[in-house]
Chain A
Amino acid sequence: MDFPFFNGQLITYGFFLLFATVAIASALLVVSVKNIMHSALFLALFLLSVAAMFFIFDADFLGIVQILLYIGGVIVLILFAVMLTSRVSSQLIQQTNEQKFLAIIVCIFLFGMLSYVIFTSGLKGFERPLVEGGITRNVGQLLMTVYVLPFEVASLVLLAALIGAMVIVGKKDE
């Protein structure tokens, strides 16, 4: 069988298969384990393996952002929220209800539809290398030239959000 992905680079392809398997397995575990804490940790594993796939595909910037934002930010936030609500974290919760067979059918249809789109889209797979010197360098250059104004405005938005968070959750008015 001919795999167009890596021009015969078997080791890279092996790594891709490894991370893809881990990703699918952990994604399934996220929605099936009964302890919500374990669920959150499996979500972290899933996101890490997706980040690894970004690195394999030379999207190093996306990979770093994935780790920084999702694992460093979102997962930590979820874990904190779970730990602070002790009632939820101590219990084993059934994640499915009586609609689960219907949901499985819908998911299979969705999977089939997306697969159809991907296989008929004429995508040739992965061609490397995309850019000299990696994507991160180019993203940085664009941020400092073409997109310098939105970049700076975004920093002001964050400043405003910071002040706003202080106003909303800060200590009660004395």
Chain B
Amino acid sequence: MFQFLPINISQGLIAITPELFVMGLAFVVIIADLLLPLSKKRRILDLAAFGLVVALILSVPNIFQPAKYVFNNMLVVDPFSGFFKLIILGSAIFMLLMSRDYKPLPDNKIGEYSALVVLVTLGMMLMAGASDLLMLFLTIEFASIIFFILVGFLRQDVKSGEGAVKYFLLGAFSSAVFVYGASFLVGVTGASNFASIQQYISAHGVTPLFIVGLLLMLVGFGFKIALVPFHMWAPDAYEGAPTPVTAFLSVASKAAGVAVLVRTFISLLPENANVNLILGVMAAITMTVGNLVAITQNNVKRLLAYSGIAHVGYIMVGFIAYGVFGIEAVLIYTLAYLFTNMGAFAFAIAIYNKTGSDDIRDYAGMSLVNPLLSFVFFIFLISLAGVPPTAGFLGKLLVLAAAIDSGYIWLAIIGVLNSVVALYFYARIAYYMYFVEPKMKEPIKPSGALKLIMFVSLFMVLFICLFPQKIIEIAGQVSLILRTFNGL
């Protein structure tokens, strides 16, 4: 294959087969939009989802391959990026299935919508593997620009526009700070790809200017993953965006952001330069702010936005713990968060389609008319709160254990205290469902696609906690390869 190309380019193309496939899928989706009549436009979502399933299968081998750089060190293909590609693709598939039944999306815009979703998936997949400052910036912008558009997709809705504008302005600003920081790194080391920067550091050590650059870049990452104090856009963008986009934004965008954050710091920050205290304080504030503000929220999308901020705090705790164990905890926490959040959002869409409301007070008495669905949602809630026997519990356990293991006892204590706060507002939703007089009379009948999402997520949420050996083993392998590849 590709004999007419230079050898390094053809090797690179083979290594990024899943990305190439997703790119082709985007073109197929654009063409399908031209060919299909208006009444059949929603089929495009199925087409895109099916294509991404194939891409998911193509990405699985990445987890078991050794790490290597491709395209002149622009991109790294390793188990770590493979793991995050699976999370991104999984959430994209769930998101497209959810969109089938989300009523506010106009039929005539489905083609553009699907094309943008497929392209943003591609952008985030590349982001997970970016190993050059230029590539990092380009892919972060790639994903951000499309998310600005997707958040503002409902043009008649004022909130959608408001969310998109806030997201865009803060995004543009944080990108500027990010590039400023990256320019410090290039200025100090004279190189833009991670491999060369590593060589420079091992030869010359780090200068304070280098650390300053890295911390400025943290602003860009912090914006992507909604780390406090760069989280201000999140609640408005989450509330205004179409709900499937909110779900996608809260899982895939964060996962991709965590991936680049972890990779950049692991690759570029030698262990002797200690910025962990700054990161630790940020993680503690993120957990606390997210959880405390979530208490007063009545809109389920806003509530999940703030709870998502808190979850990022936990992921950061795992990351601060460094070590094989810490990265392993980050991976499992992100995986657990994928299924839990997707399940919860599928439920929110089912309710919204019935009642036209995202207010949790309208969930009153759900358990009487929909006992099974309510119970499934209850499981997702306790997984978000981190109660056994769910995936959320395993994630929190590993994160906190990693923190204690590496001596961050105070972070672990703050984490545990926050779990208690979180339990309150998740339980408040359950309280409305189980103990308040019902408002609705007839049961909700979610469509097949929503049911599929809910039950697959339910299965995974329980499976990850009850049979964790295999997953922990894979996650341990992935983080070990990431560390050895970067010479730690």
Let me know if B318 is at the binding interface, CB within 8 A: no
Determine chain A's interface SS by DSSP, over half rule: helix
Report if B356 contacts A (CB, 8 A).
no
Interface of B is mostly: helix
Q: Contacts of B109 on A, CB cut-off 8 Å?
A: 167, 173
A167 touches B112 (CB 8 A): yes
Residues from chain A with a CB closer than 8 A to the CB of B30 are 163
What A residues does B12 contact at CB under 8 A?
A: 149
Which B residues are in CB contact (< 8 Å) with A122? none
Interface size of A by Cβ–Cβ distance < 8 Å? 21
Contact check, B116 vs A167: say whether CB atoms are below 8 A apart: yes
Q: With the chains together, A172 CA to B155 CA distance in Å?
A: 9
Given A163-B116, A164-B149, A173-B109, are A153 and B135 neighbors across the interface (CB < 8 Å)? yes
| In the bound complex, CA of A85 to CA of B324 (Å) | 60
Chain A residues positioned under 8 Å from B6 (CB to CB)? 145
> Do the beta carbons of B106 and A167 come within 8 Å of each other?
no
Measured between beta carbons, the chain B residues less than 8 angstroms from A164 are 116, 145-146, 148-149
Tell yes or no: B71 within 8 A of A by CB: yes
User: Smallest CB-CB separation from B27: which chain A residue?
Assistant: A159
Complex contacts, A153 vs chain B, CB 8 Å: 126, 135, 138-139, 142
Does A157 count as interface, using CB distance less than 8 angstroms?
A: yes
Instruction: Find B115's partner among A163, A168, A172 (CB 8 Å cutoff).
Output: A163
Which residues of B lie under 8 Å from residue A161 when comparing CB positions? 145
A150 touches B116 (CB 8 A): no
Does the CB pair B145–A157 fall under 8 Å? yes
| Chain B residues in 8 Å Cβ range of A110 | none
Q: Is the CB of B141 within 8 A of A168?
A: no
Closest chain A CB from B339 CB (angstroms): 28
- Contacting residues, chain B, for A156 (C-beta < 8 A): 23, 26, 119, 122-123, 142
Q: A153-B126, A174-B108 are in contact. Are A148 and B71 (CB under 8 A)?
A: yes
**Interface 1/0s, chain A 23-45, versus B by CB < 8 A?**
00000000000000000000000
Nearest CB in chain B to that of A173: its residue? B106
Cα of A94 to Cα of B153 in the assembled complex, Å:
40
The yes or no answer to A126 lying at the interface (CB within 8 A) is: no
User: Are B142 and A173 in contact (CB-based, < 8 A)?
Assistant: no
- Interface presence of B32 (CB below 8 A): no
In whole angstroms, what is the CA distance A148 to B108 when docked? 36
B149 touches A168 (CB 8 A): yes
Chain A residue nearest to B75 (CB atoms) is: A149
Contacts of B156 in A (CB 8 A): 173
Interface centre among A146, A161, A163, A172 (most CB of B within 10 A): A163
Those of B46-93 within 8 Å (CB) of chain A: 71-72, 74-75
Question: Could you tell me the distance between the alpha carbons of A147 and B193 in the complex, rounded to whole angstroms?
Answer: 11
CB-CB under 8 A from A146, the residues of chain B are 72
Contact digits for A138-174, partner B, Cβ 8 Å, 1 yes 0 no: 0000000111111001101101110110111000111
Given A160-B145, A164-B149: A154 and B112 interface contact (C-beta under 8 Å): no
Using A150-B134, A166-B112, A167-B116 as known contacts, list a sample of 7 further A-B pairs with CB atoms less than 8 Å apart, ordered by residue number in A: A147-B134, A148-B71, A149-B135, A150-B74, A163-B30, A163-B115, A163-B116
What would be 29 A-B contacts, judged by CB atoms less than 8 Å apart? A149-B74, A149-B135, A150-B134, A150-B135, A150-B138, A153-B135, A153-B142, A156-B23, A156-B122, A156-B123, A156-B142, A157-B142, A159-B119, A160-B116, A160-B119, A160-B123, A160-B149, A161-B145, A163-B30, A163-B119, A164-B116, A164-B146, A164-B149, A167-B149, A167-B153, A168-B152, A172-B155, A173-B108, A173-B155
8 closest pairs, A vs B, by CB?
A164-B149, A149-B71, A149-B74, A173-B106, A160-B119, A146-B72, A157-B142, A167-B112
